[in-house]
Structure 1
Amino acid sequence: MEINFKQLHREEAHQILPYLDRMNAQKVPMDLLTERFDEMLSQNYEAFAIYDHDQLIGCFGLWYMTRHYCGKSFEPDHVYIEEAYRSKGIGADLFQWIEAYGKQKGVTAIELNTYVENFPSHKFYYNQGFVARGYHFLKKI
């Protein structure tokens, strides 16, 4: 295995849409998902692919913001690794890479959300040094 993390330019970012569709718990139609993803790419967002050599095996994104309580931060979003590649240390390597990348960008904090029922992710994020600081609430209007 030779794992690489690569930022995707706008013209190549659509290659991760099938992963976003797999993660799509709300079952947003693909045309709407694509429209929203294109809008994300025009905001404070970067899309990344995870490769084993030149084979696409996963994806993630980073949202940038400045918050009054922690300064410049980013939020990893839609982290996805193909099932055959899970439990091989790639997630831990990814979050070490994300932290180093954030330091290069002047980021002082990493925040993230995970679904309440996704217990394996909670254990993983605790093991990566994250602490639970609150609840994420959503109200569609």
Structure 2
Amino acid sequence: MSHVNLNRIISIMTCEFKILESKNIHLVVPLVEKLNDYKVSAEVLESRFIEMTKQNYECAVICDNNKIIGVSGLWYCTRHYSGKSVEPDHVYIDESYRGKGIGKAFFNWIYSYVKDKGCETIELNTYVSNPSSHKFYYNEGFRILGFHFLKNV
């Protein structure tokens, strides 16, 4: 008989996955600040998020009793090599909620949501300094195709 962790099941059941209304985008800034290795101020982050909501972007969140405990941006485009695609971006789950299957459940929700929107593929970037995310994405069936480069202009 397998052992079922009841706390894990309850934690996932109390969480809600949804698209955040653009007018509430400022609510994700505190979570994204924790992910933010390059230390952009909260004011700049909020300004950028407001601008992002005017582009091909949606923000998916995880809520536990109306408290946002996780976030993933969703960027949409069509690529010549992969068709209609979505890029999860700035994925972050509050540390106290990790290891409970919520990330896997969130990504399953994202897969279903973007497939219903006609997406054929999902691509993403993750920081080199975040090996736990690498393991998660490998386990989700992602494979590395290249390197992400950045240059300030």
Taking structure 2 as the reference length, the TM-score comes to 0.88
Residue aligned with 2:32, SS:
helix
Pairing 1:5-16 to 2, within 5 Å after superposition? 5-16=17-28
Residue aligned with 1:34, SS:
helix
Q: Return 5+ residue gaps in structure 1 as ranges.
A: none
CA distance in 2, matches of 1:51, 1:8: 10
Q: Which residue of 1 aligns with 2:52?
A: 40
> Is 1:100 matched with 2:112?
yes
CA distance in 2, matches of 1:57, 1:24: 16
Paired residue for 1:130, among 142, 145, 148? 142
Q: Return 5+ residue gaps in structure 2 as ranges.
A: 1-10
CA distance in 2, matches of 1:91, 1:49: 11
Offset from partner CA, 1:50-86 (integer Å, 9 cap, x none): 1123222111110000000000000001111111100
> 2:25–2:49: 8 Å Cα contact kept in structure 1?
no
Offset from partner CA, 1:26-56 (integer Å, 9 cap, x none): 1112222111111101000001221123222
How many residues are aligned here? 141
- Greater CA deviation, 66-75 or 34-43? 34-43
CA distance in 2, matches of 1:108, 1:5: 21
Task: Tell me how large the CA RMSD over aligned residues is.
Answer: 1.0
> Is 1:50 matched with 2:68?
no
| Higher CA-based Rg | 2
- Greater CA deviation, 83-92 or 28-37? 28-37
- Greater CA deviation, 98-107 or 46-55? 46-55
Taking structure 1 as the reference length, the TM-score comes to 0.95
